[in-house]
Amino acid sequence: MSVPLPMSVGYHPLYCDGLSPDARFPRERYPKLKARIEKHPDSSQVAWFTPRQATADEITDVHDSDYVQRFLDANLTPKEQRQIGLRPWNPDIIPRTLHLTGGTIQALEFAVAQHGYAGNLAGGTHHAYREHGAGYCIFNDIAIAAIRAIELGFERITVLDLDVHQGDGTASIFTDTPNIQTISVHCQKNYPFRKQQSDLDIPLKAESNDTIYLEATKQALVALEHFGPSLVIYQAGVDGLTSDRLGKLNLSREGLQARNRLVFDCIDALKVPCLVLMGGGYAVPIEDTVEALCDLFIEASIRHLHRQRKETHATL
Ligand SMILES: [Zn+2]
């Protein structure tokens, strides 16, 4: 008889410490979020794991080997560093990036092995292209996880990107990959200003509210169901919050909770594994981001446990 397992979530201290305190990026959101989840009454539904580093081979399955090597050698040009942001860089940006990417690969493997949900308390770095980084993203962990899923035998994968910014890097990497569906719901007048073409893009006007956003989410889920993936990667950025300084949408915490429930209802109906990645969140105060991301991981853990109990019951 198997015992229901809690949802695996990756966390590494370098998620915060690998960034300079002087960088214009709210690096403290990582430990704050971990502490917030640990304080939650349902925190026992989450099993933390410490991610390993991704290997150069895993990363070059998606990225140009020259770019990967120059990053690992701390040899990117100032222009390339500027395009990524997160400056000033400290040497720990390299192990941070490798642990972050490794955490996403391991979370994918947990989701697959347990046929449920698993996550990483970082990642969702959807602006990274094959040959360069951008917008706080160095390597595209979503794309790397999708390729790993194909190696594991999954034939159809959906990347559902509900971050307020378009998943341009992922769309570009998978342009000619019909078995990987890319969907992006985002704010039209926002970064990246030169958009790429996902399989489905739903651009929203600035200041769109919960009602408009949830309608767009439903539309995205219709396309996902129609595609019929055997695995879903959910980039669940919460930077659509009204208080987010980079978002330009007008969403409430409750609206984002409703969004997550719609997504998880759809994934539960399909009975497929789901990798949950946190994506963006730059609210002032940062606690708004932390609360919205805590909601996300707790809801995913509830869904995971529910599925585990059902499957355990079925094997009795
Ligand atoms: Zn974002």
DSSP three-state, residue 74: coil
204 alpha carbon to ligand 1 midpoint, in Å? Answer: 14
- Is 123 part of any domain? yes
Alpha helices in the chain, H assignment, sequence order = 14-17, 29-39, 56-60, 65-72, 78-84, 93-114, 141-151, 168-173, 210-227, 253-270, 286-315
31 falls within a domain: yes
HSE (side-chain half, CA atoms, 13 Å) at 32: 14
- Answer yes or no: is 208 within a domain: yes
- Contact (Cβ atoms closer than 8 angstroms) between residue 162 and residue 177: no
Could you report the average pLDDT of every consecutive run of 10 residues in the chain (316 residues)? 87 96 92 98 96 98 98 96 93 97 98 97 98 98 98 98 98 97 97 96 98 98 98 98 95 98 98 96 94 98 94 70
Cis peptide before 285 (omega within 30 of 0): yes
The answer as to whether 122 is a domain residue is yes
56 within some domain: yes
Q: Give the type of residue at 135.
A: G
Residues 6+ apart with CB under 8 A from 158: 180, 181, 182, 183, 224, 227, 229, 231, 232, 233
C-alpha pair distances (Å), 181 with each of 140, 155, 167: 16, 11, 12
A 10 A CB-CB count for 310 gives 12
Ligand 1 geometric centre to CA of 177 (Å): 24
Domain extent for 241: 7-315
Looking up tokens 């993203």, which residue turns up? 137
316 CA to middle of ligand 1, Å? 44
C-alpha of residue 198 to centroid of ligand 1, in Å: 16
Ligand 1 centroid vs 111 CA: distance in angstroms?
24
> Count of CB atoms within 10 A of residue 11's CB?
23
Q: Residue 172 Cα, ligand 1 centroid: separation in angstroms?
A: 17
Sheet bearing 200-204, strands edge to edge: 46-49, 7-10, 117-120, 274-277, 231-235, 157-161, 180-187, 200-204
CA angle 160/104/68 to nearest 5° reads 105
Strands (E), 116-224: 117-120, 157-161, 180-187, 200-204
Domain membership of residue 2 (yes or no) is no
Cα(256) to ligand 1 centroid in Å equals 14
Q: Are 234 and 274 in contact (CB under 8 A)?
A: yes
Would 108 be classed as within a structural domain?
yes
Contact 118, 70 (CB under 8 A): no
Residues with CB under 5 A from ligand 1 (ion): 163, 165, 237, 239, 280
Number of domains in the chain: 1
CA 191–ligand 1 middle distance (angstroms):
8
DSSP letter at 90 equals -
Q: Model's pTM, two decimal places?
A: 0.97
Return the CATH number at 142. Answer: 3.40.800.20
280 CA distance to ligand 1 middle (Å): 4
Q: Residue 37: what residue type?
A: I
Output the CA 257–ligand 1 centroid distance in Å: 17
- Is 1 domain-assigned? no
Question: What tokens does 314 get?
Answer: 């079925």
Rounded to the nearest angstrom, the distance between the alpha carbon of 281 and the centre of ligand 1 is: 7
Question: According to the model, what pLDDT value does residue 155 have?
Answer: 95
